[in-house]
Structure 1
Amino acid sequence: MAFQLLVTLIVIIILIAPLPCNAGQWPPSPGYYPSTRFRSMSFYQGYRNLWGPAHQSVDNNGITIWLDRNSGWRVVQVVKPFRSGYFGASIKLQPGYTAGVITAFYLSNNEAHPGFHDEVDIEFLGTTFGKPYTLQTNVYVRGSGDGRIIGREMKFHLWFDPTQDFHHYAILWTPKDIIFFVDDVPIRRYPRKSATTFPLRPMWVYGSIWDASSWATEDGKYKADYRYQPFVGKFTNFKASGCTAYAPAWCRPVSASPYRSGRLTGQQNRAMQWVQSHYMVYDYCRDYKRDHSLTPECWR
């Protein structure tokens, strides 16, 4: 009898226990869907294998890249550099244990400026069993080779399981700002406040998967475990539209809103604020352990 009573109490506690405040909640509609405004391309229409073709499988529309103990970085690259534009891809991540492994979609000019490059990142930080992926957005400006890597990380959990299906992730980069999107919902806007805190040199678009065990999962607490190899990332529905580095000076930056200026609508801003209040788990500007003299955009 006592055992039955204990079981009943446990069931009641489970049933009435409050769910996390964001469990099952989806962002409000942004009201505008920029991914539908730009044409999709197959992999070979705009991209090329850069490193590791033996660990990549290409079909007409997309590419699967994988990491194992013997493969190192797997990287694909858009053919042309851009000086502004909208860049997106639909990505599906691997379930299970992926700690230490990063799947990324990003802009960079490291090949043109090694050790002193710019970079704009969407990175999926691998995780352990039962824990969600973390989506990290980041902006580097003229950094890495001087030993003072200044990251501008903003991290999110997602309102869906990114291993179950493809979802669209995108970066809008203009001379005024950088906006990150998940399924057309803006999740972060990084405005240009000065030339020293904003990337302005042409960049290429990349997709990659790599081992970052030293820091990727809970600050390096959990490492890549190659008993679970290969670690797989799937990319399709590529989009890259805007002003290439070779376009005339009058080329107008594309917009991800109904406004030609690129300014987000009130509805888009409300959706972004909702995501940040419910799903953002880290903001470098709110990290008081950091030296914000190196990130003046946080207080300007």
Structure 2
Amino acid sequence: MDHRVLSFVSKSITPFSLLLLLYIFPAAETAANMTYKAFNLPTITFKEGYSPLFSDFNIERSPDDRSFRLLLNKFSGSGVISTEYYNYGFFSASIKLPAIYTAGIVVAFYTSNADTFEKNHDELDIEFLGNVNGQPWRFQTNMYGNGSVSRGREERYRMWFDPSKDFHQYSILWTPKNIIFYIDETPLREINRHPAMGGDFPAKPMALYATIWDASSWATNGGKAKVDYKYEPFATELKDLVLEGCIVDPSEQIPSTNCTDRNAKLLAQDYSNITPERRNNMKFFRERYMYYSYCYDNLRYPVPPPECVIVQSERDLFRDSGRLRQKMKFGGSHSHTQSHRKHRPGRSSRRRNKVAGGASKSGRRGSAAAAM
């Protein structure tokens, strides 16, 4: 476990709470190279589920095709996309992030349909934000529905472990009723569909993406710390690939009735419902590692969006800006920037089963990170 965490724990919590910490986050104490296969789901090869999105010369596939590395160097970043679109699903991979100096780097694992529905796209993000040496990785989750890019629903967190040392399983659950973001089997955030959300709840078929790219203009300290290419290549590795869901043609405007049974099966899975034990784990994580939440940002949202469930123990931690009232427990202060347009590699529209060829540089909209 990180020495800063141990220092804080020894001074600030009881022996019982320490045991709870280790129980909830065993990942921090596991041996090196341990692989997480959350929920014991069957995995696929790269060829069975993915194709290059851009800069395939910076994509390295393992000999058995069950893992791959995405590289960033001075020439380009790189990315992959699922071969199919899905009408709801569970998307997961064990990921190891770049090490050493990672300022300005963003690694993204997300679902989107921005290139099929350019003006009203849906999106679910897990974005990892690099940092300067000695500072922990940060990451954010976000949700867009029906092109609601001006109404980003981002939350930002600190890692409780070093994601560059070991693989951890990162997962996105998306059902007609709810969305859950996971690390290993710990839920970080749940969004339940509320009738008042309307089209803001993602409902159109999406593909799964994984990318690494240069976000020097905003990702670390508001763009003050940029990618330093003397440390290239920067590599992120993915394995234990899971793509579970109902495959559909994104050009179909009417939802496929063929997905009814598949979606019912998805909703019945263990990972689609948060047990009381996991909910306690999520509460523990959010109260100690979340440093921004849109639900508590009364400056952006004088009336919280309808899906927000205000938790008083969380509310007490945040100012009206959605930022923490005090500095993070493990060092550093935080500032919040307004959402703005950031460019990320995309792809041209295509039918399902069509493999992308060549590089694409079209931008897509995302949320601004609180890069500190």
Shorter-normalised TM-score: what interval? Answer: 0.7 to 0.9
Q: CA deviation at 1:218?
A: 3.0
* Structure (1 or 2) with the larger CA radius of gyration: 1
- 1:227 equivalent to 2:230? Answer yes
Segment drifting more, 171-180 vs 92-101: 92-101
Match of residue 104, structure 2, among 100, 105, 126: 100
CA RMSD of aligned residues (A): 2.8
Match of residue 28, structure 1, among 24, 28, 51: 24
| Structure 1 segments of 4+ aligned residues over 4 angstroms from their partners | 15-24
Structure-to-structure mapping, 1:211-290, within 5 angstroms = 211-245=214-248, 248-253=258-263, 254-255=266-267, 258=270, 262-290=272-300
Structure-to-structure mapping, 1:135-146, within 5 angstroms = 135-143=139-147
Name the CA distance, whole Å, in 2 between partners of 1:192 and 1:34: 28
- Kindly tell me the number of residue pairs found equivalent between the two proteins: 278
The AA in structure 2 aligned to 1:271 is N
Q: CA deviation at 1:215?
A: 2.0
- 1:86 equivalent to 2:87? Answer no
The AA in structure 2 aligned to 1:68 is N
Name the CA distance, whole Å, in 2 between partners of 1:123 and 1:68: 19
1:27·1:275 contact (CA, 8 Å) conserved in 2?
A: no
Task: Evaluate the alpha carbon distance shift between residue 256 and residue 61 of structure 1 in structure 2; reply closer, same or farther with a 3 A threshold.
Answer: farther
- 1:67 equivalent to 2:78? Answer no
Q: Identity percentage over the alignment?
A: 38
Q: CA deviation at 1:242?
A: 1.7
Unaligned runs of 5+ residues in structure 1 are 1-14
- 1:41 equivalent to 2:44? Answer yes
Structure-to-structure mapping, 1:107-122, within 5 angstroms = 107-122=111-126
Structure with more strand by fraction: 1
- 1:198 equivalent to 2:201? Answer yes
Task: Evaluate the alpha carbon distance shift between residue 96 and residue 35 of structure 1 in structure 2; reply closer, same or farther with a 3 A threshold.
Answer: same
Task: Evaluate the alpha carbon distance shift between residue 111 and residue 294 of structure 1 in structure 2; reply closer, same or farther with a 3 A threshold.
Answer: farther
2:86·2:205 contact (CA, 8 Å) conserved in 1?
A: yes
1:179·1:186 contact (CA, 8 Å) conserved in 2?
A: yes
2:191·2:307 contact (CA, 8 Å) conserved in 1?
A: no
Structure-to-structure mapping, 1:13-24, within 5 angstroms = none
Name the CA distance, whole Å, in 1 between partners of 2:9 and 2:93: 38
Secondary structure of the 1:128 match is coil
Name the CA distance, whole Å, in 1 between partners of 2:200 and 2:291: 23
The AA in structure 2 aligned to 1:65 is L
Deviations 1:33-66 (A, max 9, x none): 9833421111111111121111111112111111
The AA in structure 1 aligned to 2:79 is V
Secondary structure of the 2:262 match is coil
The AA in structure 1 aligned to 2:229 is Y
1:257·1:264 contact (CA, 8 Å) conserved in 2?
A: no
1:34·1:184 contact (CA, 8 Å) conserved in 2?
A: no
Unaligned runs of 5+ residues in structure 2 are 1-6, 27-35, 250-255, 311-372
Name the CA distance, whole Å, in 2 between partners of 1:176 and 1:227: 46
Task: Evaluate the alpha carbon distance shift between residue 16 and residue 87 of structure 1 in structure 2; reply closer, same or farther with a 3 A threshold.
Answer: closer
Greater length-normalized contact order (CA 8 Å, ≥ 6 residues apart): 1
Q: CA deviation at 1:298?
A: 3.4
Segment drifting more, 188-197 vs 81-90: 188-197
- 1:154 equivalent to 2:159? Answer no
Name the CA distance, whole Å, in 1 between partners of 2:74 and 2:59: 15
TM-score by length of 1: 0.83
- 1:185 equivalent to 2:186? Answer yes
Task: Evaluate the alpha carbon distance shift between residue 249 and residue 17 of structure 1 in structure 2; reply closer, same or farther with a 3 A threshold.
Answer: closer
TM-score by length of 2: 0.68
